[in-house]
Amino acid sequence: MFKLKYYLLYTLFFIGPFFTSQGQETHRIDENWVFLKSDLGGVWEAVRPVGKGNPEAVPSWQMVNLPHCFNAMDAVDPDVSYYQGPGWYRKKIHVDNPYQNGRTLLHFEGVGQKTEVYVYTTKIGEHIGGYDEWTVDITDAVKAFYENPISKEQFQGQVPIAIRVDNSRDLEMIPSDLSDFNLYGGIYRHLNLQYVPEIAIDRLSAHVNVDSQGKEGTLQVHIRLSNATLSSNLKLKMRLLDPQGKQVAQLEDEFSTQGGEINPAELTIKKPALWSPDQPSLYKLVVTAKTETASYVMEEKLGFRHIEFKERGPFYLNGQRLLLRGTHRHEDHAGVGAAMTDSMILAEMKLIKEMGVNFIRLGHYQQSKLVLNACDSLGILVWEEIPWCRGGLGGAPYRKQARQMLTNMIEQHYNHPSIIIWGLGNENDWPGDFPVFDKERIRAFMKELNELAHRLDPSRKTAIRRCDFCKDIVDVYSPSIWAGWYRGLYTDYQQASEEEMKKVNHFLHVEWGGDSHARRHAENPDKALAKITASDGVDERAGDASLYGGAARVSKDGDWSESYICNLIDWHLKEQENMSWLTGTAYWPFKDFSTPVRPDNPVPYVNQKGVVERDLNKKEAYYVFQSYWTEKTMVHIYGHSWPTRWGDPDEEKMIKVYSNAKEVELFVNGKSVGLKKRNTQDFPAAGLRWMVRLRAGENHFKAVAKNGKEMVSDELTQNYQTAKWGKPAQMDLKEIGREGDMITIQASLLDTKGVPCLDAQNWLHFSAIGDGSLIDNQGTSDGSRKVQAYNGRALIKIRLPKGKCVASVQSEGMKTAFVTLN
């Protein structure tokens, strides 16, 4: 199996330089930009000379580094709608292209959502779409600028670049603003300055093929040149290196550049090392192109793997059945929005792999190439899609953008062995952006996109999720099944899935699960199921995501506890173990993320269905997945974020342990309460549960898991409260932790007698005055100044580098509580 130690080393030493070569010389220009969060009267305002104290100095700009998202904080601000409008970036760069007649490019890895690029006052390019990569050629504009005396007089030979970025609402743009995620603004991925020769490789597509037994692999390369109008001879050398760096194939030939297309001869490799989630073997293709004036080198990572979707059956990789055990991700993180750093992305992908994931759907747009590089080297299969999401179908500009984004996604990510599916849309049955919702027009455009995807890449499948009237068009379809959340009971899951599987050729269930408010737990988590009618079905319908009105459903009537979601996930995973026909599933999502359409959630403006919080803090559900999907021995006692349980004296309480070990022994307050063997079909917790009488006050738990001679353990201390409480009537606010200048405070809800109200869910509002500042707008359970209580409490942090601060917490109907911090 693919051992953790192996892939961590692989990640640290292999992903770093993994970026596909985009030019002979590429320079990151991420630092020292100046940003303005508003519009200008024109580009002249960005470049005109400014004297100190003069009116031209207004408005005020701020220094930023890229990646930068101008919704990093307001996306989850509980008191305002996030900013949607223009912003400007400017910077002076040094341009020195080493190539005779070479071209100078700005390469954008991702900008949201519309972009205009200027050299001095000359507009040189624009782009619509927030997620695909694109370039603008600034060669001629730079040359013209250097001919202007102002280049030396005002700019001392540097080139002023101004970029207008706009995420304003636009019905004729994808994705729709009805989507359940923010349409972020900003230059939120890297920006590169590239120098390329006069004739260079614009695109290299490598079609890799191998039989299911891995006896023989072939590699067919297609090259598109950047300047098809020039005629020259080009010497091409291709070298293929195996995962150990040994050359296994080579080709040298000479071609004419006329026409701009080159198709070298096919390379054959006997018994190639196969790419798989357990052993993601990657080859390196090194292509050197030489003309009379320059040499150009491009490198690509490739993988040999054979994929097959059985009709109404499972998925096969390299001739063996592989159950796709998946999740989803949005490009979103606490404190930065879409502007995730490379280290943040890699930390998230590492956690995903450690959870046991072998498949991921990248929702709902093309993501950073670093994500795809990580999937290649970690061994995670991918469904990647364009952002045609909700709202209906727009006019000619709308459709043009969708076609272009599909083309760009496939061309830019074609060579990634991890990708097995191109997604064409999500929830395209959702109306609202146009007066007329025409299913036939949507079907016609879906057919067009499907044909385009197969023309660009015949080797991969196409897919959509939740649009029944288009399910016959694509290769793979996922209906909307939310058993136990938006509809029905979680015990309905298997039957509902089997019924849907029979309706299409290839069924793959993506998006299931439910919300959980981190740190909220329940003694009786399934009590809301008594209100649910099982016969009502489990397919999501209009209005089900709302917290108001409609039929009884757990999403509206449940407690949003981690306890309930762990049971729901546990049941789904138990069932999936025995569904021999199942292609796979993908839990929605891995990480909580911001959304403008959920202001009333316990953490406002956050979709809380993740198994980790928006800052990667693990919820209990993470360990449920690990117990089913990983092989490295693990054990986890449920409740590490549950400090106090409650009940009657001598009442038996269930202690659940999640583990993949064959047997686990539990110790309570130093005494063994028995050893149990794991059985995946014994729900809940695969039989690893004990009914235990707890003593009032502190209780200590230790679980020891055994796999043969291997032993691992987990320990936990909880209090047990037997005192009954009434209605919350007062609050207590106190410091509970300090690390450096960071202080953690806790608000607790108490009744009139001062007894903690452990099931209270009141809204709490934090504030601070003085020398300290709240760490809020993080979109986490301990990083929002407005938050629902979890088990009668809530946490937040305050940064206090010096001086004094007074923090307070308010809740309707109660006196404000204060604490002074020094």
Positions annotated as catalytic residues are 427
Burial status of residue 809 (CB atoms within 10 A of its CB: 0-12, 13-18, 19 or more): buried
Both tokens assigned to 33 = 């930009």
Report cis status (omega within 30 of 0) of the bond before 684: yes
- All residues at 6 or more sequence positions from 589 whose CB lies less than 8 Å from its CB, including other chains: 327, 328, 329, 330, 363, 607, 609, 610
Contact of 658 with 623, CB cutoff 8 Å: yes
If one counts every other C-beta atom within 10 angstroms of the C-beta of residue 369, the result is: 20
Hey, CA dihedral for 754, 759, 760, 763, is it positive or negative? positive
| Phi/psi at 413 (5° precision) | -115, 15
Hey, CA dihedral for 779, 784, 786, 789, is it positive or negative? positive
Please spell the DSSP secondary structure of 39-62, one letter per residue: --SSTHHHHS---TTSGGG-SPPE
SS3 (DSSP) at 771: coil
Q: How far is CA 514 from CA 567, 621, 759, in A?
A: 11, 11, 20
| Phi/psi at 10 (5° precision) | -60, -40
Residues in the chain, overall count? 822
Closest of 792, 793, 794 to residue 784, by C-alpha: 794
Give, for 500, the enclosing helix (H) or strand (E): helix 493-501
Distance CA 225, CA 259 (A): 9
Distance CA 761, CA 521 (A): 11
- All residues at 6 or more sequence positions from 385 whose CB lies less than 8 Å from its CB, including other chains: 361, 362, 363, 364, 365, 409, 422, 423, 424, 425, 426, 463
SS3 (DSSP) at 400: helix
Burial status of residue 638 (CB atoms within 10 A of its CB: 0-12, 13-18, 19 or more): buried
What is residue 15's DSSP assignment? I
- All residues at 6 or more sequence positions from 814 whose CB lies less than 8 Å from its CB, including other chains: 728, 729, 730, 731
Distance CA 291, CA 603 (A): 59
Burial status of residue 406 (CB atoms within 10 A of its CB: 0-12, 13-18, 19 or more): buried
Distance CA 106, CA 116 (A): 12
If one counts every other C-beta atom within 10 angstroms of the C-beta of residue 397, the result is: 12
What is residue 587's DSSP assignment? -
Single-letter amino acid, residue 461:
K
If one counts every other C-beta atom within 10 angstroms of the C-beta of residue 51, the result is: 8
Both tokens assigned to 65 = 């580094």
Contact of 594 with 606, CB cutoff 8 Å: yes
Angle at 174 between CA 171 and CA 177, to 5 degrees: 60
Angle at 556 between CA 612 and CA 499, to 5 degrees: 80
